[in-house]
Structure 1
Amino acid sequence: MNERPRLALVVWSVLVSQVFLYPGLDETVSALGGSEIVLAGTWFLAAEFSAFVVCAVLWGVASDSLGSRTPLVVLGAAGGAASYLAVALAPSVGLGFGAVLLLRVVGGAFTIGAFSLSITMLMDLSGEHGRNMGAAGTAIGLGAAIGSVVGGQLATIDPLAPLYGGAVLLGGAAALAATVPDRSTGGGLPVDMIVDRVRTRPVLLVPFAFGYIDRLTAGFFALTGVAYFRDTFGIDAATAGFTLALFFVPFAVLQYPVGSLSDRVGRFLPVVVGSLLYGVTIITVALAPSYVVAAGLMVLVGVCGALVSPTTMALVTDIVPATERGAAMGGFNVFGSLGMLSGFLIGGTVTELYGYLPAFLVAGGLEIAIAILASRSVHRITVSDGGLSSDVSND
């Protein structure tokens, strides 16, 4: 197995370990000493993602300082495995839910290193940058899809089984990463470089804003969406995992063809019209009269989400020259992590205060709002000299 699939498997393992927890989150949180209300699950997921946001850039700086990435990926995956195991064992050693949340923060600080730097190592591979990033995108999409189904099955066996499963996967990722040669060029993603790219090219804030909202909706469905289906239709964790996969599978499968389509028809329609449709379908899920209808709408949500995600990333590459794409994509991922965290917090908080329908209205409404507010900016990007036409002709 060459380096690309090995690194993709590391990325996949980190995603699966996270998504394992989503379908049976209520039971897992309850077994760890938390309550079964949505806010307990919100803090459980947000604890890890808050560390993602803070530590992603720190791992990049560390890899630059050391001039090496492989040992740090191994450390991040091994530390994540240990933290998942520690969380699973917390009730047996008398640790309360507050200590569990602290362990989740520590675990997030480790696992984001494995995730972020394994993607950076894919970027370090010579040539075929599109295939390298395609491998990362496929690993992320399939990791979310498979993790939701298997995680739901594990939770029906034991509420702590998803944590043990995540620990095993991360341990395997550490062992696999240790076999990958280190090809670091020293080109990491320090925060000052990202800020400088935004300062010199403020138009980058347009795809960054779309990336933030899109990931917010993903975080919303991972927590509030699962809770809605379970509470409203009385389904178990396994069925919840299957339902979440109805979103993630088309979302993953359509990434590459939609990205290719946007090269031919332009970015405007997939980004703006796709976002409008995405927002509308999100809201309609909460209006569905039955589980069958709501589950079918989840497929449409995944299709519409796939229109937006790869095309907004393509907008980033349209705006900046090839020499600046690493830092620009680093900024995109920082905004994405903030969006995922916001999705947990906004979805959980609005649901607790006002109910599920207002929460879906907020999530879908934000997607519609960004499409309307930024439509003119997207149009200007796609018709400018530095936009799509220029980028495609040069490639």
Structure 2
Amino acid sequence: MIQAGERTRLAIVVWSVLLSQTFLYPGLADLIAALGAPADISAGMWFLVAEFGAFVTFAVAWGAISDATGRRVPWIVTGALGGAACYLALTAFPSLGLGFAAVLAVRVLGGALTIGAFSLAITMLMDLSHRHGRNMGAAGIAIGLGAALGSVVGGRLSTVDPLAPLYASAAVLALAALVVATVPDRAVRSTDRVAGLVRRLRDRRAFAIPYAFGFVDRMTAGFFSLVGVFYFGEVFGLDAGEIGLTLALFFVPFALLQYPLGSLSDRIGRFWPVVGGSIAYGLGIVAVGLAPTYAVAAALMVVVGVFGALVSPTTMALVTDLAPAGESGTAMGGFNVFGSLGFLAGFLVGATAVETIGYLAAFALVGGLELAIAAVAAPAVRSITLETPGPSP
């Protein structure tokens, strides 16, 4: 019961971080215009890339520091409160007239802080027990519910005031700091220094498999976060509120099924959820781009969410299966580096593809990459799932 309560509170922290990010997505065009940039996909891309570039740079550092110090809670509080301060700082920019370059600099700083709260909250879930599928399912449902609610509420807020999502983001990150302060720190201190932890992580080649899947899976999420917003707005004529509801069609099943499907992988193994789920997920993404009407596209968003919920917690659970005690923070930090690189690729590849070859080809490209990783990496997934001991009951 104690761990169940801790699991819930840590899931709230993860949920809060995702909520703070996705509040901004549905009204992205209006927000960047209010901050002094053109309301186009290129400026939107750089606004998102600035944050996720910092995620890539700092995720492993936060994990390694927490492993080396044997503490996680103080670092999560620091990251959450620092991220909240950065969101509040952005609200002053329209009156200060500092320009879009300064906005991007604050986004970099906010990303560097926020990734600490996000990655280490997931790591604290790893610390709870050996039921990795269940723990990562809790993380996954928090991620999905945060994205779903953020899409809906953020869209509504942006119709009232383009800057309103920034205030809401700051508030939920402050909530995350308060909640995590009530959770016991179960971190196991590593006997190695930070540089040694990173070096040992780099030398464990088996991590390359879940990291590669994490990269491609998060790339599709980044693609939908940017290209999906403009796609549903331009192709089907939706406003910010309607776009938010449409994104929620993906995120709600993605959220609600994470815990049961993560637990399922504890019972049947990781192979079929990772490989089979990735194949179905990739086909679903391509189908969204082929949809002739909004109704069909909306229905397919639900289908894609279901298969995304099969892949996401299982891939994270595979990381926890491979991570030794005392190195889980570094291992999950590495996973989040590749995940953030995936988001960056989703923004960059998606925006570039739309501008050069159009929406349909862009959806086919991203969905095809999901199919490719499943086909190429299937033997390696089979190998490491056979070699890795199963989770404790």
Whether these two folds match at TM > 0.5 is yes
What is the Cα deviation at residue 286 of structure 1? Answer: 1.2
What is the Cα deviation at residue 301 of structure 1? Answer: 0.9
RMSD of aligned alpha carbons: 2.6
- Counterpart in the other structure of 1:223: 226
Question: 1:193 and 2:163 equivalent?
Answer: no
What is the Cα deviation at residue 238 of structure 1? Answer: 0.7
Percentage of identical aligned residues: 62
**Pairs within 5 Å for 1:1-395:** 2-64=5-67, 66-125=69-128, 132-187=135-190, 190=194, 192-200=196-204, 202-319=205-322, 327-382=330-385, 384=386, 386-387=387-388, 390-392=389-391, 395=393
Cα distance per residue 1:144-189 (max 9 Å; x no partner): 1111111111111111111111011112223333444444433499
* Conservation of the 8 A alpha-carbon contact between 1:63 and 1:72: yes
What is the Cα deviation at residue 372 of structure 1? Answer: 1.5
Instruction: Name which of structure 1's ranges 177-186 and 22-31 shifts more when overlaid on structure 2.
Output: 177-186
The 2-side partners of 1:100 and 1:333 are apart by 24
What is the Cα deviation at residue 198 of structure 1? Answer: 4.6
Q: Which runs of 5+ in 1 are unaligned?
A: none
* Conservation of the 8 A alpha-carbon contact between 2:133 and 2:262: no
Secondary structure (helix, strand or coil) at the match of 1:71 reads helix
Amino acid across the alignment from 2:159:
T
Q: Which runs of 5+ in 2 are unaligned?
A: none
The 2-side partners of 1:365 and 1:251 are apart by 20
What is the Cα deviation at residue 123 of structure 1? Answer: 3.8
Distance verdict in 2 for CA 1:92–1:61, change over 3 Å: same
Instruction: Name which of structure 1's ranges 314-323 and 246-255 shifts more when overlaid on structure 2.
Output: 314-323
* Conservation of the 8 A alpha-carbon contact between 2:136 and 2:317: no
What is the Cα deviation at residue 29 of structure 1? Answer: 1.0
The 2-side partners of 1:261 and 1:133 are apart by 12
Secondary structure (helix, strand or coil) at the match of 2:252 reads helix
What TM-score do the two structures reach when normalised by structure 2? 0.90
The 2-side partners of 1:308 and 1:101 are apart by 32
What TM-score do the two structures reach when normalised by structure 1? 0.89
Give the count of matched residue pairs.
389
Instruction: Name which of structure 1's ranges 259-268 and 205-214 shifts more when overlaid on structure 2.
Output: 259-268
Secondary structure (helix, strand or coil) at the match of 2:390 reads helix
Amino acid across the alignment from 1:361:
A
What is the Cα deviation at residue 314 of structure 1? Answer: 3.4
The 1-side partners of 2:125 and 2:177 are apart by 16
Distance verdict in 2 for CA 1:177–1:365, change over 3 Å: same
Amino acid across the alignment from 1:237:
A
Distance verdict in 2 for CA 1:190–1:151, change over 3 Å: farther
What is the Cα deviation at residue 235 of structure 1? Answer: 0.3
Cα distance per residue 1:226-247 (max 9 Å; x no partner): 1111111110111111111111
Distance verdict in 2 for CA 1:301–1:320, change over 3 Å: same
Amino acid across the alignment from 2:14:
V
What is the Cα deviation at residue 32 of structure 1? Answer: 0.9
Distance verdict in 2 for CA 1:116–1:316, change over 3 Å: closer
Cα distance per residue 1:338-385 (max 9 Å; x no partner): 111211121122222322122212211110111111122223334x3x
Amino acid across the alignment from 2:355:
E
The 2-side partners of 1:312 and 1:178 are apart by 28
